[in-house]
Each structure stands twice: as structure tokens, then as C-alpha cells.
Amino acid sequence: MSLTELTIADAASGLRARQFSAVELVRAHVDAIDALNPRLNAYITPTREAALKAAQQADEVLARGEARSLTGIPLGIKDLFCTNGVRTTAASNILRNFVPPYESTVTANLLRDGAVFVGKTNLDEFAMGSANITSAFGPVENPWKRNGDDAALVPGGSSGGSAAAVAAGLAMGATGTDTGGSIRQPAAYCGIVGLKPTYGRCSRFGTIAYASSLDQAGPMARSVRDCAIMLQSMAGFDERDSTSVNCDVPDYSAAIGRSLKGLKVGIPAEYRAEGLSAEIGAAWQQGIAWLKAAGCEIVDVSLPHTKYGLATYYIVAPAECSSNLARYDGLRFGERVPGDTLDAMYEATRRAGFGPEVRRRIMMGTYVLSAGYYDAYYLKAQKVRTLIRRDFTEAFQKVDVLLTPTAPTPAFVQGEQSDDPVQMYLNDIFTVPASMAGMPAMSVPVGLGATGLPLGLQLIGRPFDEETLLATGSALEQAAGFTHRPAIRAEAAK
């Protein structure tokens, strides 16, 4: 078996047993990046030499018997996390040459536990998008193809580069951020596992902000256990983040394989929405059957305000984006375009620095925050957000976890929806409500559709109960037996 086929758990065991070295493991992945990244564009900034140097240090740690959970494991880092001395762009022209002088808390935690970073992964600009086509560094291509069709597919967004890298064997795992589904939807499109923790579980310090009340870092990997290992490292209280919650981080790996007997699984009626493809509906029914066979009790529940989730999200998130991105003015950091006056410099800098989707969301956010519209839009959206959260709270008085589709369809062709922003936004219809409520949620691949593309199901849990998500997700994973890999991985092995 190629080293790029291993899971994080298996690779960690192999390194400790001296079956291969960290240098060999990391070299296999950076060679795969060299071979496939020109086509997939999953990485904005590969860091081959730094990764190999870090791998040598990891081998020294292993030789001393001091290995930690991720020692020598090659990971991709979404280019939204500040990395000390390594370019961090947010996939935007305005930060094209920005090199942070400090490390984000999430990446610092991963480095503390021995991870080796092989590069900064591509994303939608400032994490704004559902298809990874808004990056200033070009779109990411999904490593999967439809049967008998060579058309380039989207990997989902905004963490499409991370999802594509993991699916294609260009990293064993990767960090993502999830604002309205940006970990879960790409995971479903690329046939991997993606976990959005509870809001406040992972620090946002050093993560470039899109919508501060929604953004949450999380792991993306090829197995539920691998996500548990990564989350164990990423999570934890951080006094530098005022939204970080000071609570214990449990042993997530211990939840894998836990008995589900008597677990109550809720099936929300509102997720049987218009636009849900028949094959994803069938996969959902199969997932229900698998969990029932595992000893779960299936309970019908209602989340009546789900239908307002997307509209509410596209008021709240752009409003916060408008505020957060006001700092990019060409004065303090980032690119600057000269102008005859201060206002002209601001306008020229932001016009050249931001892409169309970012400009659209800034305009939407500025509008809903403006005098005369704040009460009509933003304040009302916050009230509806409270009702969405209440729906989940009431549902979790009856059940332990919810099972839904992750996305209404499998991955689609690049350019297929690029001229219709509203249709593009609808790809997040099943992921946005959990984000609005701050709940933990995870996408697990459960099979291939009729065209040979991955299908994912979503689990939503109680706040800070990622353990139940992982236990239920591992049962789904075991029942589905999803071992499919995109054909492109064979090319890297040649």
C-alpha cells in the first residue's frame, strides 16, 4: 500500500513501529503534491522544503520515544490560518503577499503535537463561497469525476482545497473552517469526513475572520477516527479568543466504536426539502436503516424554522463580513493601490483587492446594517436565529443526535451555477441551520451515486457533545464501508 493511502491512525502506528520514517511519509505526500497540484490547484503555497525539514525533526523525536499524537503526520492547512513566517492569503489579492509574524492557536496546537505542515490549501476568497471558485489563485478541481465524463467538478467550499487535498492523497488530514457548511459540504462532495465542532470549542485566534459569530475551525480527514485525533489536538480554551469556551476536552478517540444501543436519532421532517436528489434521499433512508440496525431508536422531529435558515444566514454573515473586512484599507497591512486622495486610495485598493463575491457580500452586509434597514433586516434576522437555536434545543430534549443529508446534490460541474448566486447559496441549505445555532455537526461519506460521485450524510449533535457525533459517525462509517478513492490517486502513485 502506498504511504498516501494510510489513515492518520495507521500512519502514527507505523511510525512508532519503525515500518517507515517520517521523512518517507512526508516525502510521499509532497511528491504527490508536485504531481497533482498543478491540475487540482488544492494548494496555494506548498511548503516542500520546510515540511521535509520538519519530518527530519519528527524522526529524531520518534527515535527518542517522545512522539505525540501527530508526530510526523503530514497535514494541509487552510490558507485562512495565520502561520508564522509562511504566506497567508485568505485566497485574496488584498493579502497576496501577507506573511504573518505569529501563529494561530489551532495551528500552534497541531505543531505542539508534532504535525508536519505540507502547505497552505486553497479556498474561496475570505471563505465566501460554496464551490471554491472565488479564489484569487484560481478554482480548485474536485479529484473525483463522473462516470465516463472528464468535466471538472467543484470540490465544494469554502474549504475545497483542504477537501480535495485529503481526497487526492495530498495530505493525511487538513484544517478547515465552517461558517455555514464550509467543512461539511466539501467533505460530502469529496468523499471524506468533515467535522464542525461546537462554536467556541476551537480558538479563532489567528484565523482570518469572515463572520465572527459563526466561524469555527475543524478537522477534515479520511476517517472518523482521524477527525477525532485531529480535534483532540485542535480543541481547547484560549484566553486570546473571547468566544473560546473554557471546558474540558474529552478523549474523542474513546468514543469510536462505542455502543449505540438505545441512542435516539432524530429525523427532521423539514430536511425533506424541494431540490433533494433522489439518490441522496435514498442514501438518507439507508443511513436510517444502518443506525436502526446498530440499536438506535429512530424518532421523527420538527425544526420548523429551518426554512428561514438560509435567508437569515445571508443577512447575519454578510453584515459581520462588512464589519470584519473594513480593516483592509491599504494602510495597515495588505496590498495598497495609490490614489490622488485618501478616499480614492481606499476605493482603488478595495476594488483591486477584493473579488466579485466578496464585494457582493460586503455590499449586502453594509446595506442591512445601514440606517433605516438595521431593524427591518439585521435585528429581525437575529431574532429568527434565536428561534432556530430554540428548535434545536427542543429537539435535543427528545433525541441525542440528528441525521440529515449534508448537501441536496452531489458535486456539480465548474461554472454550472456561477451565474446564479442564489442557486449557489442553496447548496448550503442543510448545513446552515446547525451553524446558526452553534451546534456541532459532521459529514460522513456513505456511498457513491449513480454517476460515481460520493454522497454524504450529516450528523448534528448537542453543544459540546462531539463524542456522540463521533460514536454515531463511526457506526455509519462501518456500516457504509466507504473505501472508494478517486482514480486520480493512481496517477500520483505512478
DSSP 244-282: --------GGGGTT---TT-EEEEEGGGS-TT--HHHHH
In degrees rounded to 5, what are phi and psi of residue 318? Answer: -65, -35
DSSP 310-378: HHHHHHHHHHHHHHHGGG-SSSSSS-----SSHHHHHHHHHHHHS-HHHHHHHHHHHHHHSTTTIIIII
3-state secondary structure of 37: helix
Quick one: CA torsion of 330, 335, 337, 343, rounded to 10 degrees? -20
* Beta bridge mates, 298: 265
In one letter, which amino acid is 153? L
Residue of 406, 415, 491, 492 lying closest to 453 (CA atoms) = 406
Taking the C-alpha atoms of residue 385 and residue 400, their distance in angstroms, rounded to an integer, is 22
CB environment 8-31: b (16+ within 10 A), e (fewer): bbbbbebbeeeeebbbebbbbbbb
Residue of 368, 357, 379 lying closest to 319 (CA atoms) = 368
The 401-405 sheet, strands edge to edge: 43-46, 116-121, 74-78, 173-178, 216-221, 193-196, 441-448, 454-461, 401-405, 264-268, 297-301
Grid cell of 473 as nine digits? 459517525
Grid cell of 436 as nine digits? 446558526
Angle, vertex CA 34, rays to CA 29 and CA 38, nearest 5: 130
Taking the C-alpha atoms of residue 318 and residue 414, their distance in angstroms, rounded to an integer, is 24
Residue of 460, 459, 463, 462 lying closest to 480 (CA atoms) = 459
CA 300 to centroid of chain Cα atoms: 28
Kind of pairing between the strands at 264-268 and 297-301: parallel
Taking the C-alpha atoms of residue 301 and residue 319, their distance in angstroms, rounded to an integer, is 31
Taking only Cα atoms into account, the Rg of the chain, rounded to an integer number of angstroms, comes to: 21
The crossing angle, in degrees rounded to 10, of helices 8-16 and 22-40 is 150
Active-site residues: which are they? 78, 158, 182
**What region does 21 belong to: left with phi over 0, alpha with psi -120 to 50, or beta?**
beta
Contacts of 136 (CB under 8 A, 6+ apart): 89, 91, 92, 93, 96, 125, 355
Taking the C-alpha atoms of residue 146 and residue 139, their distance in angstroms, rounded to an integer, is 18
